[in-house]
Amino acid sequence: MIRITVEKRLSGANGPFTLSVDLQMRPHSLLTLYGKSGSGKTTLLRMLAGLMKPDSGRIEVNGEVWFDSSKGVCLPPQKRKVGMVFQDYALFPTMSVQENLLFAQEKKDPRKVDEMLELTGLLALRKRYPGTLSGGQQQRVALARAILRSPKLLLLDEPLSALDQKTRGVLQDEILKVHQRFSLSTMLVSHDKQEVFKLSDSVAVIRHGRITKRGSPHDVFLDRITSNKFSFVSTILSIRRVDCIYLAVIGTGNELVEVVLSERDVANLKPGDEVLVASKAFNPIVVKLKETWQEPGEEPPPV
């Protein structure tokens, strides 16, 4: 169990405020911190990583105390076994992909590096330098490097915010795959509701330095019922059965809608399908779309 009870005085756009968090996180779960910029999300990650010291409180990870102001305990970053992925990737520009990954290991193990390169689809790029890679490829390197530290806690600070929507979707799948493959405890900072819904086991909403809501993505974001005429193209995030009906959660911009599907719809649709959603009053229609970005025989765009 990860237990975080910390306070830190901060200065925001509207003046000083106190980040005051009391939070517990189950091992091997993926928890997302959601909220506006300047609410304290990144500061909390930096305190967990040991890059910033709380004014007071306690941080305990799987029985090991990383910080306790009452006892004068404050482990340095190198002793916390944290993997952190930043928005700007923070790769060493003069090192190749392979060298960046080797540098992350306390005990150098080229075989394990090669396994990670293969798992993340980077094996063919191992001799390339960060400056020659796309944004999505650089982010894969940053994620692989963080995992090679064998972290007790993986911290992701809006790692996909600078990427296009298609690349973000691919890398969200990669993050989920490695999180599950290595049974990681992962904390993500994101302001993208679709991303949060797709990746998270639970969500903590932070506002003005305090957690105002906590629960599953469904409970946090879909706790109200609205009805509007609409028409949009988006992606199915999940399909679930409730009693005798099927409900699909579909992203629209930075919002989520829940649509009732017929049994015929469910037979032809699955999470990840791109669909057109159109509605007249209270009767939505969901139609699967063909992929239009790829011509016959054409390779998918590079990530």
Q: Quick one: pLDDT at residue 298?
A: 43
Find the radius of gyration of the CA atoms of the chain: 21
Tell me how crowded residue 131 is: count the other CB atoms within 10 A of its CB: 9
Q: Quick one: pLDDT at residue 21?
A: 96
Given a cut of 80, whether residue 284 has pLDDT beyond it is no
Q: Quick one: pLDDT at residue 131?
A: 93
Q: What percent of the chain has pLDDT over 70?
A: 89
Digit-coded pLDDT (tens) for 117-160: 998 889 999 999 999 999 889 999 999 999 998 899 999 999 88
Q: Quick one: pLDDT at residue 302?
A: 45
The rounded distance, in Å, linking the Cα atoms of 303 and 297 is 18
Q: Quick one: pLDDT at residue 180?
A: 92
Given a cut of 70, whether residue 226 has pLDDT beyond it is no
- The CATH class for the domain spanning 2-220 reads alpha beta
Digit-coded pLDDT (tens) for 230-257: 567 788 999 999 988 999 999 877 778 8
Q: Quick one: pLDDT at residue 77?
A: 93
Q: Quick one: pLDDT at residue 300?
A: 44
Q: Quick one: pLDDT at residue 289?
A: 61
- Give the pLDDT band (50/70/90) at residue 31: very high
Digit-coded pLDDT (tens) for 43-101: 999 999 999 999 999 999 999 999 999 999 999 998 999 999 987 878 999 999 999 99
Q: Quick one: pLDDT at residue 70?
A: 96
Given a cut of 50, whether residue 225 has pLDDT beyond it is no
Q: Quick one: pLDDT at residue 278?
A: 77
pTM of the full predicted structure? 0.77
Among the residue ranges 18-27, 79-88, 96-105, 285-294, the one predicted with the least confidence is 285-294
Q: Quick one: pLDDT at residue 282?
A: 54
